[in-house]
């Protein structure tokens, strides 16, 4: 099997990747980690002895940067070419759901602190744990992460490799009770090598290839187009769209919002779920801060009887626009014709202007959250 660095250099030589100093540095660092893990794994029984003796494990890696800078690509290469048995790759959201399930089971035993046994369970068959998209958007995760990952890294000797759109210091920014999360940031900066990937090429934007983001009228052709956009952004096959994982985000006030489909920083919602239900600015701001791309399906033509839906839609678009979220939609009609009569229809013109700007190449080239 060919190693990570050789695969990376092949992609460069073929023109699939372009020269990028930060990306190359990350590839070299991951290649070194790969060789360290393989060398240690080759020694029979090393990891079990290692944990008992608490010998220092190889330092992990935290890769962060804007959308499309190659983080997931490097993670793919690292995990696919890592020649050890005790490796695991998992989406961070799914991992934290698993953690909370394990914690609930441990608490039922009433045998003391549930975190160490949960960490031991997670580490039992895993020497290297690789995460996609480390993001923290609820207080339940924030409260547990410092203690959990200290146990995983320091006590259990698990090497962590993760990607994120945010630098460690910006994780859970402005979150509720963030002071409880600060030790986790310190742990990351102490135990992992933090590598920025903010190079000049947005590969996901390249993969969209100028694809339109507003699709009308409603129907199968429009739906097929947003499925294709989802595939190009996430590598998830359009034929398997019904099996995309769901999720939830903390929208403040102790409330959680269900996200019907979410993968690699892309979320899919229906207009009905977002704008016909009672939602406010905090809900839409949580979406805008969490996801770099949002797909909204089923936007209807609205009239005087839909003034509440139109008002929520205005607030939603404001939040997405101000956080430079990429937007793909299926709609009944073009933005200019969505809401022509009714309370607030004059103010809706600003939303129309923003919706048109959000379809432009200049807007789509902006980084998530970029001022």
Percent of the chain with pLDDT over 90: 52
Return the minimum-mean-pLDDT range out of 39-48, 269-278, 328-337, 358-367. 39-48
Per-residue pLDDT tens digits for 169-181 = 988 887 778 888 9
Q: Give the per-residue pLDDT at 15.
A: 78
Largest distance between two CA atoms of the chain = 74
The residue ranges of every structural domain in the chain are 4-196, 203-364
- The predicted model gives 313-340 an average pLDDT of 94
Q: Using one digit for the tens of pLDDT, what is the confidence trace for 75-106?
A: 888 999 999 999 999 878 778 888 999 999 99
Q: Are strands 255-259 and 247-252 parallel, antiparallel or unpaired?
A: antiparallel
Secondary structure of 37-61 in HEC code, one letter for each residue: HHHHHCCCCHHHHHHHHCCCCCCEE
**Average pLDDT rounded to a whole number, residues 255-274:** 91
Question: Regarding predicted confidence, which is higher, 256 or 46?
Answer: 256
Angle at 197 between CA 191 and CA 203, to 5 degrees: 140
Question: What pLDDT is recorded for position 46?
Answer: 47
The count of other CB atoms within 10 Å of the CB of residue 352 is 17
Per-residue model confidence (pLDDT) at position 121: 96
pLDDT, position 73: 84
Cα–Cα dist 360/183, whole Å:
41
Domain 4-196: give its CATH code. 3.40.50.300
Residue 326 is predicted with a pLDDT of 93
Assign a CATH topology to domain 203-364.
Rossmann fold (3.40.50)
What integer best gives the mean pLDDT of the chain? 87
Q: What is the pTM of this model?
A: 0.65
Statement: residue 53 has pLDDT above 70 = no
334 or 2, which is more confident? Answer: 334
pLDDT of residue 189 exceeding 70:
yes
Q: Whats the size of the chain, residue-wise?
A: 371
Tell me if 4-196 shares its fold with 203-364: yes
Strands (E), the chain: 60-64, 87-91, 128-132, 159-164, 192-196, 214-215, 247-252, 255-259, 261-263, 266-270, 293-299, 326-331
- 201-234 pLDDT, tens digit per residue, is 666 667 777 789 999 999 999 999 999 999 888 8
Confidence at 124, pLDDT banded by 50, 70, 90: very high
Provide the pLDDT for residue 186: 94
């Amino acid at each position: 099997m060919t190693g990570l660095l050789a695969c990376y250099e092949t992609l460069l030589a073929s023109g699939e990747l372009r020269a990028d100093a930060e990306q190359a540095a990350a590839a070299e660092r991951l290649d070194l980690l790969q060789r360290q893990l393989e060398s240690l794994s080759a020694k029979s029984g090393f990891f079990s002895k290692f944990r008992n003796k608490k010998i220092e494990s190889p330092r992990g890696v935290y890769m962060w940067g804007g959308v499309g800078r190659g983080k997931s690509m490097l993670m793919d290469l690292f995990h696919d070419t890592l020649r050890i048995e005790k490796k695991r790759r998992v989406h961070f959201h799914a991992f934290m759901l698993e953690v909370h399930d394990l914690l609930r089971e441990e608490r039922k035993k009433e045998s003391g602190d549930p975190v160490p046994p949960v960490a031991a369970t997670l580490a039992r068959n895993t020497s290297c744990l690789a995460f996609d998209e480390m993001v923290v958007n609820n207080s339940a995760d924030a409260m547990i992460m410092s203690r959990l990952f200290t146990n995983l890294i320091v006590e259990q000797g698990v090497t962590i490799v993760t990607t994120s759109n945010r630098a460690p210091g910006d994780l859970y920014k402005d979150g509720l009770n963030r002071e409880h999360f600060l030790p986790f940031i310190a742990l990351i900066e102490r135990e992992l090598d933090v590598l920025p990937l903010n190079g000049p090429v947005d590969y996901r934007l390249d993969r969209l290839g100028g694809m339109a983001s507003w699709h009308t009228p409603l129907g199968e052709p429009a739906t097929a187009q947003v499925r294709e956009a989802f595939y190009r952004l996430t590598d998830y096959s359009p034929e398997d769209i019904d099996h995309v994982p769901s999720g939830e985000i903390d929208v403040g006030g102790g409330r959680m919002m269900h996200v019907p489909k979410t993968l690699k920083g892309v979320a899919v919602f229906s207009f009905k779920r977002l704008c016909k239900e009672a939602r406010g600015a905090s809900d839409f701001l949580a979406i805008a801060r969490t996801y770099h791309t949002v797909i909204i399906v089923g936007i209807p033509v609205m009239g005087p009887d839909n003034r509440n839906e139109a008002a929520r839609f205005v607030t939603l678009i404001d939040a997405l626009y101000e956080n430079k979220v990429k937007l793909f939609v299926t709609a009944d009609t073009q933005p200019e014709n969505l809401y022509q009569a009714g309370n607030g229809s004059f103010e809706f013109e600003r939303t129309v202007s923003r919706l048109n700007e959000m379809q432009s190449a200049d807007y789509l080239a902006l980084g998530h959250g970029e001022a």
